Amino acid sequence: MELKLAHAEPGGKPKSISHEKLLEAITAEKSAIFYFDKSNAHKDLMEYVKFLENNGLRAYLKEVKYGLDQEDYLYQMHIF
């Protein structure tokens, strides 16, 4: 499964990353914070949280608003 990371600049395209690549980055750092694009399904992100918990990690997912419009949000996942 692929998840889309939040884009860094306005109007940019979100980059996709696989579950395995994310897991490799997390195990190398022991703790990480990732920002995901709003185009990801909330259900898919929750499945990834369960996947991480099954691999002995803890994860916290929340929605972060960055503007006044209801569509101005992204997902933040803190993994430790």
Task: Render pLDDT for 49-59 as a digit per residue (tens, 0 to 9).
Answer: 999 999 899 99
Residue 7 has pLDDT above 90, yes or no: no
Supply the mean pLDDT for the chain: 91
Percent of the chain with pLDDT over 70: 100
Helices 19-29 & 42-54 angle (0-180, nearest 10): 50
User: In this structure, are residues 70 and 35 in contact, taking their beta carbons and an 8 Å threshold?
Assistant: no
Place of tokens 């996942």: 77
Query: Can you read off the two tokens belonging to residue 10?
Result: 């306005």
Radius of gyration of the chain (CA): 13
User: In this structure, are residues 1 and 45 in contact, taking their beta carbons and an 8 Å threshold?
Assistant: no
